[in-house]
Homo-oligomer: A and B are copies of this chain.
Amino acid sequence: MIYNIQIKVMPLKELLDPQGKAVLGGLQNLGLSQVLDVRIGKHITLQLDAASEKEARDQAEQACKKLLANPVMEFYEIGLIGQ
């Protein structure tokens, strides 16, 4: 079965996010002064062929560990698995 998996990879909360800070400045210059903080990471959609939801999630977990996320600087969340 084909599963679509949504993965979010974000900079760790303890780390500065210069890209987010730049976008925060941009939004405030555009008049959106209610925005207090911005953090920017990656959103990855995987299409996976797996026998079960559990297998799909395991494969996604492996993909994150081996390639998609750098644990020194980033954390990831795997979510929204639909067929």
In the complex this chain forms, how many copies of it are found? Answer: 2
A54 on interface, CB distance cutoff 8 Å: no
Do residues A34 and B59 form an inter-chain contact, with CB atoms below 8 A? yes
Write out, one digit per residue, whether chain A residues 30-72 have a CB within 8 A of any chain B CB (1) or not (0).
1010111111111111111110000000010011001110000
Provide the bound-state CA to CA distance between A34 and B5, in Å. 13
How many residues on chain A are close to B (CB under 8 Å)?
34
Please give, as numbers and ranges, the residues of chain B lying within 8 Å of A30 by CB-CB distance. Answer: 66-67
A27 on interface, CB distance cutoff 8 Å: yes
A18 on interface, CB distance cutoff 8 Å: no
A73 on interface, CB distance cutoff 8 Å: no
Binding site for B on A (CB under 8 A): 2, 6, 8-10, 20, 23, 26-27, 30, 32, 34-50, 59, 62-63, 66-68
